[in-house]
Structure formats: C-alpha cells, structure tokens
Chains A and B, each alone.
Chain A
C-alpha cells in the first residue's frame, strides 16, 4: 500500500518543525491540524495529508495492524473525495534554511554506521521489546575532504577519531542515544597500517554507569585520490543506557558497530549524522 497508493515520506521532525523555508512551512501546515501543534515540542507520529496540505489522519500508534487498517480506511475516503482529482500546484522549494539543510562535505566521504547488541537480553514475549532487542541501528558518519586526503596519506586525523568515538560508538539500537563528551573518552587510538585499520577505545561516564570498551579492525583500499573501501568493525563490551535507550541488558553486554562506505544506493545515505542535528559545523570540527 505504501509502495503504490501513497507518497511515502520519512523525516526527523526536529528539522521540519523548526526550519524557516517552504519545507518547514508545509510540514507545519499539516501538523498544525493535528494534536501535535505545539512546535516547541515533538510532533512525531504518522500523518496522512493531501497535496493541498489538508490533514486526513494523525496517529502515533505503532501497532502495524492498526496502522494498516487506518491507512486503508483513509485511502478509501481520499479516493472518494474531491481531493483525489483536484489540480494542485507543486510547491517551490525557494530559499532553503541553511541551518536545517546540511550537506555532506564536498570531496569528503559518507560512511554507513550500523550497531547491534550481540547478546545479553533476557528472553521476552513482548513483541516491541523483541524488535528493539534484535534491532540493527543506522546512522551516517561524515568525513571531511581534508580528513579524506589525510587518510590517503596514511593517517587518521585526531578530529576524525574523536568524531567516531564521541558520536558513533554509541548504543543507538533502542532509540536516540546519549553521545560521549570529550572527557568521557578515556582512551582512543586508531591507526592505518598496510591497508588495515586497527585501534582500541574506552569510554566511561564520570559516575561509571555507562561505558564502552572495544577493539577495532578494518580494511581500506584507495584508488588514485579516492578511498574506495573503508570497512571497520568495532566490537566490545558496553554497559548502561540513556533516557531514550532504556532497557539495555543488565551489566556488560557485547555490542558491535560496523562502518562501510555509502554509495548512494540507499535512501538513508542522504540523512545527516544524528550528532550533526542543528550543529553541522560543530560535528565536523
């Protein structure tokens, strides 16, 4: 149904509810008609709207069967309505709000980052818990042109190492994770050696309630002035969780994080890194 009958859009609404351009205005026009009409707070949920901006459905129920039933009902209503045959002009993008339209660094690299808890959960009959427990997360790492060039010369710049450790060696398998502060990165060493990436890392909060100790291994290949392959796996023991990632296994548990170059074949390759939200310059510094 979503493949053929709807135009499917997926967004991090933290951008659209704030951005001052046509994209943000159209989103807020729709969301304003829902109970999520206070743009100081989250507006997350599922929306169905017409091209003219009329809200047909708002729902925040994640039960797939309930959502499917609601979509079927609203689709039938839409097809019977005048909106289905109405001529509506396509909105122009106009001037973009630069704060909320970050682009990957020109000449740099986009790297897919995926994390998975390998073991440690108690068995559960709860379907939603089971989904989180087996989840494979996804984020993107951005590498600048200067960092790309430095790796071609055989070194991993400190800023890139810090970015990887602080923002990408996190347990984001159950929701938005707390990132690491610079002080929480207790040990960090990454190096390139003959086509391999090796390293180790240790993070821990001041109170010791959350941490990650891990080893790294990876392989990279360059072709001329471009890195063609950059595969890295970080595997270690994680402990603790955050306000939006509750339900971690008790004690220390194995966590693996895999990095691989994005090639643009996946829609998610275009999503800015989670840690760059509203702060792309800070993320890349």
Chain B
C-alpha cells in the first residue's frame, strides 16, 4: 500500500477512535442476559472460604462481652476499610 494511503488510514482510525471515546455516552458493548447470568454467578463468593466460616463480630464491645462470658481472648482484625467488605 502507498505510504500516503497508510498514513491516511491511520489518521482515520485514530480520529474514529478519538470520536468513539470522547462522546458523552458509554461505548461498552451492550450486556446480554446470558452474560448477566454468567457474571452474577462468577461474582459470588465461594461458600467454603475458610475466613467466611469464622463467626465474626462487628463490634469490639460485643467481643468483650462474649470474651468475658466464655473466658476466651479477643482477636481483633482492624483495617482501614472494613476487613469483611471494602478494604
């Protein structure tokens, strides 16, 4: 192909790409129902994850009360953001 034609083609492709990405609407592919079903299943946590089997309490005070009753030590997992959620 002639060099000028290649340059023209590249220019048009670049311009088209810019136009596609600079509009106000989203340009992702529409989400079909079968893909929705697949992703909904994929984004479920596994039931057998060990950390999910621990009976977590969400309050240090409730932990203190249980520890006092059961004569057990308290383990506190303290994070920036909640450890059981968005961290």
Contact = CB atoms under 8 A, between A and B. Distances in A.
> Does B associate with A?
yes
A233 B40 contact: yes
Interface stretch (A48-56, A121-129, A150-158): A48-56
A133 interface: no
Contacts, number: 232
A6 B72 contact: yes
Interface string A45-77: 111111101001000000000000001001100
Given A12-B82, A90-B65, A274-B81, A50 B40 contact: no
A186 interface: yes
B36 A13 contact: no
B75 A47 contact: yes
Nearest to B30: A215
A2 B84 contact: no
Nearest to A36: B78
A137 B43 CA distance: 9
B14 to A, nearest CB: 16
Given A215-B26, A233-B39, A271-B82, A30 B45 contact: no
B26 A10 contact: no
- Most chain A beta-carbon neighbours within 10 Å: one of B35, B55, B56: B56
B4 interface: no
B60 A16 contact: yes
A86 B31 CA distance: 60
B61 A22 contact: yes
B86 A258 contact: no
Interface residues of A, number: 83
A84 interface: yes
Q: Is the interface of A mostly helix, strand, loop or mixed?
A: mixed
A132 B37 CA distance: 24
Contact of A6 (B33, B74, B80): B74
A44 interface: yes
B78 A16 contact: yes
B76 A9 contact: yes
Contact of A9 (B26, B58, B80): B58
A125 B83 CA distance: 24
Contact of A84 (B54, B58, B71): B71
29 contacts: A3-B54, A6-B72, A8-B56, A10-B77, A12-B83, A14-B81, A26-B60, A47-B76, A51-B71, A86-B71, A91-B61, A137-B86, A138-B45, A138-B84, A186-B24, A187-B24, A200-B25, A200-B26, A202-B25, A202-B27, A213-B28, A215-B30, A217-B31, A217-B36, A258-B40, A267-B55, A267-B84, A271-B85, A274-B85
Interface of B: 24-33, 35-36, 39-40, 42-45, 53-87
Given A11-B79, A78-B73, 13 more contacts: A2-B54, A6-B74, A7-B70, A9-B60, A9-B77, A46-B77, A48-B74, A48-B75, A175-B81, A176-B81, A231-B36, A236-B28, A267-B56
